[in-house]
Amino acid sequence: MPFELRPITSDDTLSWVRVRSLAYYGPTHECIHNGAISDSSVRRIAEDWKEDLKKPNNYHWRVVDTDLEPSEDDPPTNGGRTIAIAVWSMHNAKAERSNEPVATPSLTTTKSSFVPPELRLDALSSLLGPLRAAQPEIMGSSEPYLMLNMLATHPDHQGRGAGKVLLDWGLKKADDEGLVTYLSATGLGRRMYEKRGFEVVKTIEWDRVPWGGEGKDCHWCMVRRPQKEKV
């Protein structure tokens, strides 16, 4: 398959934001936002996310399909189309390189200096509060660990293996360095993570009804121990 794993650079933040927003669209996304996110908001977020690339202990990756033409969001010299992205982060460790996490299942975070007018901060806080509290509760504050903050594949390219390429990078790093890996999964990703050695340690539900939606959003906090043999 013509996939290439490449680091995300400041030239790639627009495709990063666009792929992520399309991949995460759904009933929870609709509860957290007042209508569709405008193109101008997407572009403002992309500018902000350039700063995330400068922060320590964060690793931003993308998968490019070299058989396809660059999208409108890719730089013209991309040599293919960005179809999937991932962000990993190291915790409880000395700062080394790369960047810090953007750990949210919505399009943007309250960390960003630009808050999209479409974003409902009260709904977002309601969703993220329990997820953020669970992380230190499960992982503690002393032992280093690796976290998968986000993994998203463009809807047109899901099921082709791009997500596996991004996951493989982090799991190899974790195994090579003897690190536990942490993530919170939705229903779409849980099975894939379980196949790679992750185990559910906590389940968190978020009721969409008070925010104008239907049903519940379920997140599974998952942990994977380092493995000596390649999976």
Mean of the per-residue pLDDT values of the chain: 91
At 110-135, the pLDDT tens digits run 344 788 999 999 999 999 999 999 99
Is 129 contained in some domain? yes
- pLDDT score for 193: 97
pLDDT of residue 55: 86
Write down the pTM of the prediction. 0.89
Domain contains 38 = yes
Q: Is 229 part of a structural domain of the chain?
A: no
- The Cα 15–Cα 216 span in angstroms is 29
DSSP 33: B
Looking up residue 112, the CATH number of its domain turns out to be 3.40.630.30
What's the structural domain count of the chain? 1
In a domain, 231, yes or no: no
When computed from its CA atoms, the radius of gyration of the chain, rounded to whole angstroms, is: 17
180-190 pLDDT, tens digit each:
999 999 988 99
> Per residue in 74-105, pLDDT tens?
999 999 999 999 999 999 988 765 543 343 33
Nearest CA to 53 out of 13, 103, 98, 21 is that of 98
Q: Is 139 part of any domain?
A: yes
Report residue 192: phi and psi, to 5°: -60, -40
Angle among Cα 160, 164, 170 to the nearest 5 degrees reads: 160
Domain extent, residue 76, equals: 3-224
Report d(CA 92, CA 220) in Å as an integer.
22
Instruction: Let me know if residue 165 belongs to a domain.
Output: yes
Greatest alpha-carbon span in the chain: 48
